[in-house]
Amino acid sequence: MSEHTITVAGVAIDTRHWIGGERVASAQTFPDVSPIDGSTIGGISRGTAMEAAAAVAAAKAAFPAWAATSRAERARILHAIADGVEKRIEELSIVETTDNGALLRSHRRGVMPRVAHNFRFFADWLLKLEHEDFETRGHTNHVSWDPAGPSVLITPWNAPLMLATWKVAPALAAGNTVILKPAEWTPLTASLLADIAAEAGLPAGVLNVVQGYGSEIGDALTSHPDVRRISFTGSVPTAKRIAESAAANLTPLSLELGGKSPLLVFADADLDLAVDLAVEQYDNAGQVCLAATRFLVEESVAEEFTRRFVEKAGQLTQGDPRGEATDIGPNIHPLQLEKIDGFVQRAVAAGARAVIGGHRKDGQYYAPTLLTDVAQDSEVVQEEVFGPVLTLQTFATEDEAVRLANDTRFGLAATLATGDPERAERVTAQLVAGTVWTNCFFVRDLQAPFGGSRHSGVGREGGTWSFDFYCDLKNTVTSPNGWKNHG
């Protein structure tokens, strides 16, 4: 076995970058640590500006041929990648669970099948992508989507492969070449994706994977003049740095950022349903950008809602995410755990009450927490915690509920529980959010636009919106005159 290969549950993973169809090692490595038990999985090639330049050069060299590849052939290769993912769902699942601590059963049943679906969906959407021609004073307008060029995709650690392929699949389908930079805390499945793509026949240089820290390789990627698109999912502060870096070259950006989403529970709601939706916000140990972390509950049902919530949350099992019965695993990293606990302890010191939780457990596990007696302008209500920490506030009127829901700098999502369809229509029309769920949560379709308002992001992706971002749209206007020498 190569010195650059590590194994996770018998799965061999190359720790080097994938650049121009070849494995490339860096002079230094960084440790990849499992949040399950704090053990070091292995050393990962630590990229610098040199590897960034090489990856962009490879993507630039491969772009003309890939852009000229027919839609049908691009779609065929994307389906072949999906086939490769489906053949390795078990391997990808155990590797990703080891790397980021999310539930193994969720990876097997939902997340990794969704990875394959990402490729299939955008392959199929590509083949039907069109805009009907239209006339202007006898002239014909024809809209087309031209591949934009090398694209840098910077992806997060909370759902590494699924969120990476949510970007990689449409970028490749659009005819762009890609430089994928996974989060340094969860690099492993991106390396496996490079192998799967190569086995599926994706030409060398079309997909490149580089690893490392944002300050060492990320800045070099986002400031590169040959990069024509940048898509990033992560924190607001990092997004601001990326935007500054990209500004010099006017590189278009797509930013999917944080959230502080509300769950509005009205007195006319099915309380059992509302409680189920509320407990679901602990999914992935609270490390979900879309999570409705702020419960806004009508005063008349707040006591009963809280009683049922505490009972339901008490049935959750926290522990090793590889266990079939586990509901909540660890948080990703000691730094993140420190951040989560800091939010809670400062809130309690300011007068908040921990109805459940409010403390660390052994290792990198944090007890599912619900805080009450929190002020609207408090840090824990206004800022994204990104852990299993929820707050509960009450409201007296519909107008107050909407005001509280919209009173943060974010606008990623919102969830509404009500038994009145007219109220649902009134309230959802007033909520500032990219996605609103009524009496449900986390139902997502790749046909729908996805993104956030305010500090939750810039732009929308999904369906044709993804192609609008990854392409240069062209309108060709043709006069009916001038064909006199033809035919």
Which one of 184, 256, 384, 461 is the catalytic residue? 256
Instruction: Give yes or no: 289 in active site.
Output: yes
Which one of 51, 96, 184, 289 is the catalytic residue? 289
CA 411 to CA 454: how far, in whole Å? 6
Closest CA to 427 of 260, 270, 269, 300: 269
CA 431 to CA 399: how far, in whole Å? 11
* DSSP letter for each residue of 405-444: HH-SS--SEEEEE-S-HHHHHHHHHH---SEEEES-----
Q: In angstroms, how far is the first alpha carbon of the chain from the final one?
A: 66
CA 468 to CA 233: how far, in whole Å? 18
Closest CA to 144 of 473, 471, 468, 478: 473
Tell me the CA distances in angstroms from 417 to 125, 245, 298, 385, 464, one per residue in order. Answer: 33, 41, 11, 23, 30
Encoded tokens for 211: 């690893």
Encoded tokens for 245: 């870096």
* DSSP letter for each residue of 142-163: EEEEEE---EEEE--SSSHHHH
- Cα atoms in the Cβ-side hemisphere of radius 13 Å centred on 353: 6
Instruction: Give yes or no: 256 in active site.
Output: yes
CA 293 to CA 314: how far, in whole Å? 18
Contact residues for 100 (Cβ-Cβ < 8 A; gap 6+)? 35, 157, 158, 159, 160, 185, 186, 332
* Whether 418 contacts 268, CB under 8 Å: yes
Which letter, b or e, does each residue of 412-432 get, where b requires 16 or more Cβ atoms within 10 Å of its Cβ?
bbbbbbbeeeebbeebbeebb
Catalytic residue annotation = 256, 289
